[in-house]
Amino acid sequence: MQYKCRVEVIDKKLFPDLQGRYLADPQSGVCPFYSIGDVTVFERYGGEDTFWTQAKGRHCSEAWDCISRYIYTALQGGAVMRGWTNDERLMIACCNDGTRPVVFKIERQDYKVVKISGMKCDGCASKAKAALEAVPKVLRVDVRLDKGWAEVFCRREDAPSDEALTTAVERAGFAVQGID
């Protein structure tokens, strides 16, 4: 099983009374760095490690201080917040700015990497994707034609078997070189 971490800005708040009382610029307003709906996906697989590269220039230091520990935990496959949220793969957190906090949804995404040989074009990728999406318990499939694999998203505790994934790919006319 592999893991990604999806971070989405879900809200921004503003406390103008606090800005008026405490800030050098009492009219500084809402956080200019983020917009609601901004999404960053972090991953560590296949020679890619975006934990630091995605953070650089994309997250301010106040936010990074607050969310990086959850992102790191998710990338290791850990429970982002066991017992606090109704789904251990999920955390809601905000940055340290007390006058204009940004609220983030941090979600661990569980997936298997199915290495497929024989995919040569977008049509092949579509065929492999459809075959894998038809397997029970698969939530989503992203085919990485440039890498020669498909990312099969599922819940870790309810993941489809490697055999089921292999059978689906073979029925579509391709071969599986391995599953991570």
- pLDDT tens per residue, range 64-86: 999 999 999 999 999 887 888 88
Q: What pLDDT sits at residue 81?
A: 79
Interval 32-43 mean pLDDT: 95
Whole-angstrom distance, CA of residue 163 vs CA of residue 180 = 13
Under 8 Å between Cβ of 98 and 15: yes
Q: Would the pLDDT of 160 be above 80?
A: yes
Select the more confidently predicted residue: 151 or 60. 151
Instruction: Categorize the per-residue pLDDT at 47 as very low, low, confident or very high, splitting at 50, 70 and 90.
Output: confident
Report the chain's terminal Cα–Cα distance, integer Å.
6
CATH class of 110-179: alpha beta
Q: What pLDDT sits at residue 53?
A: 76
Residue-range domain boundaries for the chain: 2-109, 110-179
Whole-angstrom distance, CA of residue 70 vs CA of residue 91 = 8
pTM of the prediction? 0.89
76-82: list long-range contacts, CB under 8 Å, 24+ apart: 76/3, 77/1, 77/3, 77/108, 77/110, 77/156, 78/108, 80/106, 80/107, 80/108
Q: What pLDDT sits at residue 115?
A: 98
Under 8 Å between Cβ of 89 and 81: no
Under 8 Å between Cβ of 33 and 110: no
> What does the mean pLDDT of the chain come to?
93
Q: What pLDDT sits at residue 48?
A: 79
